[in-house]
A and B are shown apart, each in its own frame.
Chain A
Amino acid sequence: MRMKVMQDKELDKLLAVAANQAPRPSAGFMDRVLADALSLQPKPAELPQRPSPTAEGLVARIAVLFGGAPALAGVCSAAVVGLAFGYLNPTTLDVLTGGLTGAETLEMFPSADFLTTEG
């Protein structure tokens, strides 16, 4: 008795048809899966909030304008030193400048006349 055997070629063709006829998910099913995904999704990490400048004192706000407390301290120190120079006796300044301020004139380029002299 002859038996009808399924050939490899026929089986491969059948499997290829099956591969092309994959069941398609319904829109409702996809929506359910997506709803699961969104409900289980971890929340994005929140960045730590900087305190608002308005919530701080006036000094802190000014410090921010100057680039921070250390910078403001430097500016204040310079201002104090400037005021001190302004009010102190000039002779006292000689100590710092080595007597330069006592000079009548100070020629920075003593021999620069040749630049402006013709001939």
Chain B
Amino acid sequence: MALDAQDTTSDEALMVLYANGDRHAAMALTQRVTPRVLAYASRMLSGDRAEAEDVAQETMLRLWRMAPAWRQGETKVTTWAYRVATNLCIDRQRSRRRKGQVTLDDAPDLADGAPGADQRLQDGRRMLALEAALAELPDRQRQAVVLRHIEGLSNPEIAAVMEIGVEAVESLTARGKRALAAVLSGQKEALGYEDEGHAG
């Protein structure tokens, strides 16, 4: 049976197939889960590609190791993966803070497709500013904002990842966005946003 990232077989069923020795399931899960974990880790680690890859690879390693004990119906594979990646990212952030590393130099690799060089440059500046602003948020607020507004998870899914209630997710997301807006407001002009005349 050929399975790929577009196959309709659920991630949870693929885990069972993987544990039974199905190589196609290994490929399908790799294609589906790895990019999402890598993108999330990259946002959580301020665009540090090398560290994000380490986190994503370690998350997937743990997924493979626990596959034989996977119990369908208890949790979604992506929820589990985001949760593991979150913990790994937090560990690395704490380690960075202890070392006092600066993270803005680790710019994310931006996907192609920007309409022109100027736009691309501006988008790049904005992404760097966003990464830096996200890095200033408390860990939980950053997780909630990234999962909700960048990874596109629903509030109940985020609640499952963060192991908190949906109301707490809503509160964290709202506070996180307010904090982001406050950090980015000082750079509006530099980022190419026109002043719309709102007084603060």
Give A residues with C-beta under 8 Å from B.
2-8, 10-12, 14-25, 29-30, 32-34, 36-38, 40-45
> Main SS of the interface on chain A?
helix
Residue of B nearest to A2 (CB): B199
Q: Can you list 22 A-B contacts (CB < 8 A)? A: A3-B185, A4-B193, A4-B198, A4-B200, A6-B184, A8-B181, A10-B188, A17-B123, A17-B126, A19-B152, A21-B111, A22-B35, A23-B52, A23-B108, A29-B34, A29-B53, A30-B30, A36-B60, A37-B26, A40-B64, A41-B67, A45-B20
Give B residues with C-beta under 8 Å from A.
18-23, 26-27, 29-31, 34-35, 38-39, 42-43, 47, 49, 52-53, 56-57, 60-61, 64-65, 67-68, 108-111, 123, 126-127, 130, 145, 149-152, 177, 180-182, 184-185, 188-189, 193, 195-200
Within the complex, what minimum Cβ distance (angstroms) separates B33 from chain A?
Answer: 9
Within the complex, what minimum Cβ distance (angstroms) separates B51 from chain A?
Answer: 12
B52 & A10 in contact (Cβ 8 Å cutoff): no
Query: Are A42 and B38 also in contact (CB < 8 A) when A21-B108, A23-B109, A30-B30 are?
Result: no
Contacts between the two chains (Cβ within 8 Å), count:
136
Which of A23, A32, A40, A42 is the one whose CB lies under 8 Å from B57? A32
How far apart are the CA atoms of A23 and B112 in the complex, in Å?
10
How far apart are the CA atoms of A30 and B182 in the complex, in Å?
37
